[in-house]
């Protein structure tokens, strides 16, 4: 744990045995462990918020495109660090004609967890796209988050929404709570969630001819309400 690592470093310093390079490596390990612990705490808090039925009932018109664009902006530094092309493709907030009747904090959590999951599993050089599409008939607003990672095998697509489940052999670091939070929030909003490949699997083993994975696409369909001039997110 963090305490054990810190104690070991202190002993090495006291004994005069720790070189500058060793100290840097040890401090980097502590920083990574601290980030993982903080992420786990945040995910547990998100799960608690998602399961709060009273909060879910406090609904208001939400501009889904606005929250999606803000979330993409928040994750740009992390995407750049991982050399992943993260972008938004869809209706702009100022052009949106439809809203979602929901809880803005929870919808923000939903999008953040989907983007976080996509960045976690997409390799360097890959793409992550967030998209909001409005039904021209005014019935549905669709949110999509897709990536060019290894994808999720059909047999695992129900399991990945279980708390603490992680795909075998993925090697990615995560709490295993993100997609469970997503499903809980989707259910609270009586929306529809589907998961499929970003690109068709053509080659044996699920890989595409160019050697890349099929990716994963999460699609959520919300019932739409007409946007009013004074609709706000919070």
Report the pLDDT value the prediction gives residue 195, as an integer from 0 to 100.
Answer: 96
pLDDT grade, residue 18 (50/70/90)? low
Question: Which of 40-44, 95-99, 224-228 comes out lowest in average pLDDT?
Answer: 40-44
Report the pLDDT value the prediction gives residue 163, as an integer from 0 to 100.
Answer: 81
Is the separation of the CB atoms in 90 and 141 below 8 Å? no
d(CA 185, CA 47): 9
Q: What is the mean pLDDT of the chain?
A: 79
Please give the backbone phi and psi of residue 60, each rounded to the nearest 5 degrees, phi first: -155, 165
d(CA 34, CA 27): 10
Task: Say which residues have a Cβ less than 8 Å from residue 62's Cβ, sequence separation at least 6.
Answer: 99, 100, 101, 102, 103, 104, 107, 233
Of 41, 46, 36, the residue nearest 109 (C-alpha): 46
pLDDT over 80 (residue 150): yes
* Cα dihedral 208/210/215/221 (nearest 10): -80
pLDDT over 60 (residue 214): yes
Is the separation of the CB atoms in 74 and 109 below 8 Å? no
Of 61, 70, 47, 56, the residue nearest 183 (C-alpha): 47
Which of the residue ranges 30-44, 53-67, 105-119, 166-180 has the most confident prediction, judged by mean pLDDT? 105-119
Report the pLDDT value the prediction gives residue 32, as an integer from 0 to 100.
Answer: 54
pLDDT over 70 (residue 63): yes
Q: Is 219 exposed, middle or buried, given 0-12, 13-18 or 19+ CB atoms closer than 10 A? A: middle
Tokens of 208: 């595409």
DSSP alpha helix (H) spans, the chain: 2-15, 20-50, 53-57, 64-81, 104-121, 178-188
Report the pLDDT value the prediction gives residue 203, as an integer from 0 to 100.
Answer: 47
Report the pLDDT value the prediction gives residue 186, as an integer from 0 to 100.
Answer: 94
d(CA 54, CA 108): 17
Angle (CA) 234-36-118 rounded to 5° is 65
pLDDT grade, residue 232 (50/70/90)? very low
pLDDT over 90 (residue 98): yes
DSSP assignment of 170-213 equals ------S-HHHHHHHHHHHTT-EEEEE-SS---SGGG--TTS--
pLDDT grade, residue 42 (50/70/90)? low
């Amino acid at each position: 744990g963090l305490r054990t690592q810190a104690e070991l470093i202190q002993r090495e310093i006291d004994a005069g045995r720790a070189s500058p390079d060793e100290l840097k490596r040890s401090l980097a390990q502590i920083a990574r462990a601290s980030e993982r612990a903080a992420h786990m705490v945040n995910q547990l808090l998100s799960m608690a918020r998602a399961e709060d039925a009273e909060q879910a009932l406090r609904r208001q018109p939400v501009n889904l495109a606005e929250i999606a664009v803000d979330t993409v902006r928040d994750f740009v530094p992390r995407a750049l660090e991982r050399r992943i092309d993260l972008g938004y493709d869809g209706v702009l907030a100022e052009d949106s004609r439809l809203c979602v009747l929901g809880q803005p904090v929870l919808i923000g959590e939903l999008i953040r967890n989907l983007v976080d999951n996509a960045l976690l599993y997409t390799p360097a050089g890959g793409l992550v796209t967030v998209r909001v599409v409005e039904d021209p008939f005014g019935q549905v607003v669709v949110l999509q988050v897709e990536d060019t990672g290894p994808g999720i095998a059909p047999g695992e697509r129900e399991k990945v929404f279980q708390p603490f489940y992680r795909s075998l052999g993925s090697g990615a670091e995560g709490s295993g709570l993100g997609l469970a939070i997503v499903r809980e929030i989707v259910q609270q909003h009586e929306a529809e969630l589907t998961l499929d490949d970003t690109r068709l699997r053509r080659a044996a083993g699920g890989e595409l001819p160019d050697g890349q994975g099929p990716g994963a696409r999460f699609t959520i369909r919300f019932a739409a309400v007409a946007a009013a001039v004074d609709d706000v997110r919070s």
